[in-house]
Amino acid sequence: MKTKQYLEQLLNQMTLEEKIGQLIQLNGNMFSETKAEITGPARKFGITEEELTRIGNVLNFDDAAHMISIQKKHLEEDRNQIPLLFMMDVIHGFRTLYPIPLAMGASFSPKLMEACCEMAAKEAAAAGVHVTFAPMVDYVRDARWGRVMETCGEDPFLNGIMGAAQVKGFQGDDLTAPDRVATCVKHLAGYGGAEAGRDYNTVELSERLLREFYFPADKACIDAGVKMLMPSFNSLNGVPSTANKWLMKDVLADEWGFDGVVISDYNAIEELVVHGIAPDFRTAAKMCFACGCHIGMMSNAYFETLQALVEDGEIPMEAVDEAVMKVLSLKNDLGLFDDPYHGVSVQREAAVTMTPANRDLARRAAEECAVLLKNTGILPLSENTRKVALIGPFATSQAIRGNWACHGENADCVSVADGVRAILGEERVLTAKGCTCYLEDLSTEGFDEAIRVAKEADVVVLCLGEEQDYSGESHSRVDLGLPGVQLELARAVVAANPNAVALLFNGRPLVLTQLEPLVPAILDMWFPGCEGGNAAANLLFGRTNPSGKVTMSFPKASGQCPIYYNHPSTGRPKATPDDVFQNCASNYLDCGNLPLYSFGHGLSYSNFVYESLELDTPTLTKDSAITVNVTVYNDSTVDGQEVVQLYMRDLVASSVRPIQSLIGFEKVALAAGERKTVSFTITEPMLRFYDFACNYISEAGEFTVSTGYADHLLLTQKFTLQ
């Protein structure tokens, strides 16, 4: 790594145009156009070849060979010899895809998250990626929003832990190492609070709500050493995040002391004009720059106007220098001034990508993330079953990688059929598609074949779900049911053979209210990535015991959204939350208040009995701690893993508090017949909250501590904070 003086010298020798180049990121395909003629995207952008040599950052590219050729050409032409910084969205794997982040949350295993990110970093870095636009830690409560697939769900505590695990997994301890990438936490702030779950929609959130639910995961990533941050597209309380002074200056820079690089989201600076917050690009650029946005992603605004803004005295040169120094420092942290290629080679890329070990980790992850939502005892299936029918759009489909797949491909994914065939052999596995998973496709032409196949089999696995690109950016939905005629297919198949379980593929919680009574078991695979079919087969046949837990409520009806377990009490709560007839209570006339599946729910082939929850003392002071011991017994003949969850409720406070908040969890392995005691520590800071004036305080009084899961607490004790 170079010294600070080296970077300062470099900065001193740079012209204003060269400095501004460091503050712009353009797409990789703009750099690979021939010298002779600027065409395609670069031409549309209005950039000359000479200007292109000054640009400092690249968004997306093909592979190691592509990266090497872009970097080489750049260094041949850049008189300052400042390497380009290459960035990409490595969200749930680079080429070897593991489950989508919403599923990874369901594993409740930060260790697994870290291991998967480490593997992704190795593959991505070998292809030339320096920075990944992960972790995405947007707090969510509304499954209509398609980007819930990129998050770990509705709990701020879990999100923070999983976000920090991603930072650690990608970055490690030494960013100069050729198998590490820097991380970029996104999107600050409130993006997941888009009104009505419609992507990019306006966001109005109180400061109290932001601080208590939306900020903690961002802050946890900053504390874990994240190198970059991306503000969100949305307007937050009237001002888009990228130009929101309170958010970017007062909170991020001054209060949290974030000193890394801030990059705008794609074209977000220009979008201030569309928001109607700036009359033109120049004003937009000035506003964002003043709020500490250092790099403009695909930004015409910085490209066209920053120079004039500085020359006209509207942006001080010192501010430009400060921004450039941050970018240079990140390049230096990655060791790029010593090795602009960061150890990349085509050979290394081939050697570390999609290895059997990587696929093995992806499969184990897919198994740990799956959630057994319902099981009356039909699962696991016997490997002696004479014939199994796999029916539905996901029976033979490889389209289970999940959105934000980076360089992963459908063709890399193992289908359910192939996974099950690997266990049962070809002859005992029947398949029929029945229908598609497309919203607009109402054709029932495949039903007859599906019914015929169902009748021929002993057991049916209905492989249903949502098309994989129905979740993700700009993919909001208003009706969260199974798309197309899948429910009708399930009805027809179950009528032909009631021995039918459902295996789901989905990027968000779906409304399963009508499917649930039709089948004795539902196993949710989410979008499991490249090893999904093998993982599903192992789980279905009991070679692996499911251990995932829901991290985002599954609503009973789309109209329940937003729905989340950690909501404040109302003055008129329902006596029993699922009673529809209670008058003058906070309820729906046509649906209970509870979701179909709550946060923390997830079954196992083992039977876990929560035997006791004990506190070593019922009194807590500012300087003491309470030890909570939870004893769990595996009352079955099957080894398994259980996520022991700890919830807290503040019974009386000056602000209305959530009816439960997760304050601890631990995933423990319990062999058949084994009993374990899991210990948690409660201290005063864990009881703090933001009061009406947004002071972060704790208040003396009574609290409960419980175990079980969100809407189904099993054991509860009281304690007092003095």
Instruction: Return the active site residues.
Output: 265
Query: With respect to ligand BGC, which residue has the nearer C-beta, 146 or 434?
Result: 146
Between the CA of residue 618 and those of 134, 614, 665, 718, what are the distances in Å? 41, 10, 20, 7
In degrees, to the nearest 5, what angle opens at C-alpha 618 toward C-alphas 616 and 621?
100
Tell whether residue 407 is a contact of ligand BGC (CB under 6 A). no
Query: With respect to ligand BGC, which residue has the nearer C-beta, 473 or 488?
Result: 473
Q: Give the integer Cα–Cα distance in Å for 476 and 474.
A: 6
Tell whether residue 265 is a contact of ligand BGC (CB under 6 A). yes
By CB under 6 A, the residues from 111 to 140 that bind ligand BGC are 133
Tell whether residue 89 is a contact of ligand BGC (CB under 6 A). yes
With tokens 């000193």, the residue in question is 259
CB 439 within 8 A of CB 482: no
Q: How far apart are the first and last CA of the chain?
A: 51
Candidates 70, 68, 56, 65; CA nearest to 28 is: 70
Q: Residue 630 CA to chain centroid, in angstroms?
A: 29
Tell whether residue 304 is a contact of ligand BGC (CB under 6 A). no
Q: What minimum distance in Å lies between the beta carbon of 473 and ligand BGC?
A: 5
With tokens 């489909």, the residue in question is 397
The residue type of 541 is F
Q: What minimum distance in Å lies between the beta carbon of 369 and ligand BGC?
A: 22
- Residue from 186, 364, 421, 657 that binds ligand BGC (CB under 6 A)? 186
Tell whether residue 199 is a contact of ligand BGC (CB under 6 A). no
Residue 390: CB partners within 8 Å, gap ≥ 6? Answer: 396, 416, 417, 420, 429, 430, 431, 432, 460, 461, 463
Beta-sheet pairing, 712-721 with 701-709: antiparallel
Query: With respect to ligand BGC, which residue has the nearer C-beta, 136 or 464?
Result: 136
Q: What minimum distance in Å lies between the beta carbon of 341 and ligand BGC?
A: 23
What the block records as the tokens of 422 is 């690997």
Q: What minimum distance in Å lies between the beta carbon of 638 and ligand BGC?
A: 41
- Residue from 473, 635, 666, 691 that binds ligand BGC (CB under 6 A)? 473
Q: What minimum distance in Å lies between the beta carbon of 273 and ligand BGC?
A: 17
| DSSP one-letter string for 648-665 | EEESS-SSPPBS-EEEEE
Q: What minimum distance in Å lies between the beta carbon of 201 and ligand BGC?
A: 14
With tokens 């002779």, the residue in question is 36
Residue nearest to ligand BGC according to CB distances in the complex: 133
Q: How many CB atoms lie within 10 A of CB 506?
A: 29
Query: With respect to ligand BGC, which residue has the nearer C-beta, 89 or 114?
Result: 89
Q: Give the integer Cα–Cα distance in Å for 10 and 433.
A: 62
Q: What minimum distance in Å lies between the beta carbon of 720 and ligand BGC?
A: 45
Q: Give the integer Cα–Cα distance in Å for 30 and 40.
A: 8
Q: What minimum distance in Å lies between the beta carbon of 22 and ligand BGC?
A: 19
CA dihedral 34, 37, 42, 46 (to 10 degrees): 160
Query: With respect to ligand BGC, which residue has the nearer C-beta, 28 or 83?
Result: 28
Q: What is the 3-state secondary structure (H, E, C) of 130-188?
A: CEECCCECCCCCCCCCHHHHHCCCCCHHHHHHHHHHHHHHHHCCCCCCCCCCEEEEEEE
DSSP three-state, residue 718: strand
**Number of residues forming the site for ligand BGC (CB under 6 A):** 6
CB 158 within 8 A of CB 662: yes
Q: What minimum distance in Å lies between the beta carbon of 336 and ligand BGC?
A: 21
Tell whether residue 266 is a contact of ligand BGC (CB under 6 A). yes
Query: With respect to ligand BGC, which residue has the nearer C-beta, 147 or 433?
Result: 147
Query: With respect to ligand BGC, which residue has the nearer C-beta, 179 or 265?
Result: 265
Q: What minimum distance in Å lies between the beta carbon of 452 and ligand BGC?
A: 45
Q: Give the integer Cα–Cα distance in Å for 191 and 277.
A: 18
| DSSP one-letter string for 480-503 | -SPSTTHHHHHHHHHHH-S-EEEE
What the block records as the tokens of 342 is 């960061």
Query: With respect to ligand BGC, which residue has the nearer C-beta, 507 or 533?
Result: 507
Query: With respect to ligand BGC, which residue has the nearer C-beta, 133 or 565?
Result: 133
Tell whether residue 469 is a contact of ligand BGC (CB under 6 A). no
What the block records as the tokens of 399 is 């389209």
Query: With respect to ligand BGC, which residue has the nearer C-beta, 241 or 305?
Result: 241
Interface residues toward ligand BGC, by CB under 6 A: 89, 133, 186, 265-266, 473
